[in-house]
């Protein structure tokens, strides 16, 4: 007697054959992902436990947690600078997100009431987002040049910041970085929020108006709850981007000297900038320390992202 084939196994084989072409189509992506993302990722983690440096020339030794201990010790130039960069993040990230998200939401609410010219304003706000960050930094560095910059000269006529070097004065520099980042990113957030508002049924607002709801009540109980998925994406993306800030402060504080990167008192110094500095100037374990700083930043980003997902899961 012939043995009957397992129908479940036969069905799985048929499904595999059916989707084989699709799997083969995805294969190049997975190969590139492994070669250019996964391999460097795990290689960097491994090298963070070594004395790897530019001058190593293949002579790399395992040092365990020494790089992590040094980076977090607060002793030594590189450690002090890295801890200062983390403190700057604690100022930069919340302010950038709060100002950027609030401005984007307000703009979306205002322009949603405009029928004529909506496309023009949407394009105008989105335009800065398509510019590379180093160009945005260069534009505003030129605008804020003391005595000659268009915006700096206007402020000077109003008696604000007369003779001030905006990118080299600690009290102004960090807020200049925040302003440029918000100016660049607000268009993306605005378009995302506007798209979400288009999907909210007008009937909800009509019913709220019949119940005597005010504009603020409609925004609180209808608009923001219905926009929650969009706002979650915008906030998560903003957090991850802000924690990796590099281009804008690098251009604004650029002097050609890696030791001076970060501006006066390291007010514009951020972790990625310090990592780059360690790569070029770290003679002993420079690359190892840079990768250790990268791993610490990665863990920081992952923890914040995980908290965001956990909070959202509990609420919804």
CATH of domain 80-272: 1.10.3720.10
Residue 13 token pair: 């084989």
pLDDT for residue 1: 45
Q: What is the Cα–Cα distance from 279 to 69, expressed in whole angstroms?
A: 18
Of 181, 177, 197, 179, residue with least CA distance to 106: 197
Residues, the chain = 316
Residue 183: the pLDDT is 92
**Runs of H (alpha helix) within 127-270:** 133-143, 150-157, 170-198, 202-210, 215-218, 224-226, 228-243, 247-252
Residue 254 makes CB contacts below 8 A (sequence gap 6+) with 261
What was the pLDDT predicted at 49? Answer: 92
pLDDT at residue number 201: 84
pLDDT of residue 168: 78
Residue 246 tokens read as 């590099």
Residue 249's nearest CA partner among 44, 31, 89 is 89
Rounded Cα gap, residues 37 and 141, in angstroms:
34
pTM over cut 0.85: no
Composition of the chain by helix, strand, coil, percent to 5:
75, 0, 25
Return phi, psi of residue 57, to 5°: 55, 45
Two tokens, residue 57: 């020339």
Segments in the chain below pLDDT 50: 1-2
**Per-domain residue ranges for the chain?**
80-272
Q: How many CB atoms lie within 10 A of CB 146?
A: 17
User: Coil, strand, or helix at residue 90?
Assistant: helix
Phi first, then psi, for residue 62 (nearest 5°) are -75, 125
């Amino acid at each position: 007697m012939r043995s009957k084939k397992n129908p479940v196994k036969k069905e799985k084989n048929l499904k595999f054959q059916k989707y084989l072409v699709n799997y083969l189509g995805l294969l190049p992506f997975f190969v590139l992902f492994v070669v250019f993302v996964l391999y460097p990722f795990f290689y960097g983690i491994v090298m963070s436990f070594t004395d790897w440096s530019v001058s190593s020339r293949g002579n790399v030794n395992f040092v365990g947690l020494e790089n992590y201990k040094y980076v977090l010790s607060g002793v030594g130039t590189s450690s002090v600078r890295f801890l200062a960069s983390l403190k700057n993040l604690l100022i930069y990230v919340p302010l950038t997100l709060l100002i950027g998200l609030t401005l984007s939401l307000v703009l979306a609410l205002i322009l949603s009431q405009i029928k004529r010219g909506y496309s023009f304003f949407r394009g105008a706000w989105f335009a800065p987002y398509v510019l590379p960050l180093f160009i945005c930094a260069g534009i505003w560095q030129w605008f804020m040049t003391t005595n000659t910059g268009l915006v700096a000269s206007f402020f000077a006529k109003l008696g604000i910041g007369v003779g001030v070097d905006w990118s080299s004065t600690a009290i102004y520099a960090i807020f200049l970085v925040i302003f440029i980042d918000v100016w660049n990113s607000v268009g993306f957030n605005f378009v995302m929020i506007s798209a979400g508002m288009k999907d909210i049924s007008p009937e909800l607002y009509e019913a709220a108006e019949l119940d005597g709801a005010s504009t603020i009540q409609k925004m609180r109980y209808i608009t923001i709850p219905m926009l929650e998925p969009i706002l979650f994406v915008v906030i998560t993306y903003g957090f991850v981007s802000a924690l990796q800030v590099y281009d804008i402060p690098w251009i604004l504080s650029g002097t050609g000297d890696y030791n001076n990167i970060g501006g006066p008192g390291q007010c514009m110094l951020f972790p990625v900038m310090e990592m780059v500095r360690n790569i070029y100037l770290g003679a002993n374990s420079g690359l190892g320390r840079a990768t250790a700083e990268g791993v610490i930043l990665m863990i920081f980003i992952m923890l914040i992202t995980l908290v965001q997902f956990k909070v959202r899961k509990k609420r919804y």
